[in-house]
Amino acid sequence: MGPESVAASPTSDAVPGLPEYAPRPFLLQDRRQETSDTVTLTLVPADGGTVPSFRPGQFNMVYAFGVGEVAISISGDPTRDGPLVHTIRAVGKVSTALTRLRPGDVVGIRGPYGQGWPIDAAEGKDVVVVAGGLGLAPLRPVLYELIGHRSRYGRVEIVFGARSPADLLYYSEVQEWRRRTDLRLQVTVDSADRSWYGDVGVVTQRLPDTRFDASRAVAFVCGPEIMMRFVAQALEARGLAEDAVWLSMERNMKCAIAQCGHCQYGPLFICREGPVLSYRRLKPLLAWKEL
């Protein structure tokens, strides 16, 4: 069964005593301010149990009690047992409430849900990772996987773009990755003041500098939809096949189990068939302005 045809259901084992889709209480262990409006939350099960395993690119429904529930990608390390990690930007009522939580507070978690990045299909190939802004959060597990099992993959090229230097996520970790000799990471911002000595320009400007064998490469792209469209076009122009380019779509996930229809995107339910989908499937939909 292909990665795009699996039915939606949480990949974790159901918790005894709880209905399958009931939120499970998680305790906020640590809160890290990434940028002015974005935090990374480290969570552990309040019942003392284990954190469900996940595949890079999957998401959880995170419940701010009394406020609401929102879909958030998992941004922790899938190669290690450890706490659950979510990076959240304050955008709406629920996400703002989540960014205001303090250690010791409790949230509800259900998941993980959805189809992640097809990491297995990348083995033996060159891997191009392109992230824009908060799009690095769902791609960070991919980077952990690539670095954790580096010999399984060919050349690794990463391009990370943000609006400004102040909007760069995981700054110290990004600097560590830049120092590695077994991958190449380019960071660029859309504009900057004179204190920034890095690249300035949109992410597509950095793509001609990436080196990969288009006949045996895959690309994982996440960011604002318009950025993904430009990047996918640029990668296609570099010779990558449509089904070698994978995008993570963001839609208004509510139930996460393909019942409510809020995340419907043409014929797709993003919570079930996505959020990660091939450019081959998405290309006609991205060109459809009414969607």
Q: Which residues bind to another protein, rule: CB under 8 A?
A: 132-133, 161-163, 167, 188, 190-194, 196-202, 204-205, 209, 223-224, 226-227, 230
In the complex, minimum distance from the CB of residue 48 to another protein, in angstroms, rounded to a whole number: 40
C-alpha distances (whole Å) from 238 to each of 29, 218, 219 are 44, 12, 11
As measured in angstroms, the least distance from the Cβ of 269 to another protein is 23
Strands 217-222 vs 245-248: parallel, antiparallel or unpaired: parallel
Element (H, E) at 285: helix 279-286
Question: How near is the Cβ of 225 to another protein at its closest, in Å?
Answer: 9
Nearest to 121 by CA among 72, 186, 56, 52: 56
CB 198, min distance to another protein, A: 8
Nearer to another protein, 136 or 219 (CB): 136
Q: If DSSP codes are grouped into helix, strand and coil, which group holds residue 228?
A: helix
In 3D, which of 178, 112, 177, 121 has the Cα closest to residue 148?
177
| CA dihedral sign, ordered 5, 11, 17, 23 | negative
Q: CB-wise, 233 or 264, nearer to another protein?
A: 233
Torsion of CA 201, 167, 87, 56, to 10 degrees: 20
**Closest approach of another protein to the CB of residue 34, in Å:** 14
Indicate the residue among 94 and 146 with the shorter CB distance to another protein.
94
Q: What pairs with residue 282 in β-bridges?
A: none
Q: Which is nearer to another protein, 99 or 204 (CB)?
A: 204
Instruction: Estimate to the nearest angstrom the gap between the alpha carbon of 146 and the chain centroid.
Output: 14
Closest contact distance (angstroms) between CB of 208 and another protein is 9
If the CB atoms of residues 111 and 161 are measured against another protein, the closer one turns out to be 161
Nearer to another protein, 29 or 205 (CB): 205
- Minimum CB distance to another protein, residue 201 (Å): 5
CB nearer to another protein: pick between 10 and 133: 133
Two structure tokens written together for 172: 């110290």
CA distances from residue 106 to 25, 29, 62, 72, 263 in whole angstroms, order as listed: 6, 9, 11, 16, 27
Distance CA 278, CA 272 (A): 14
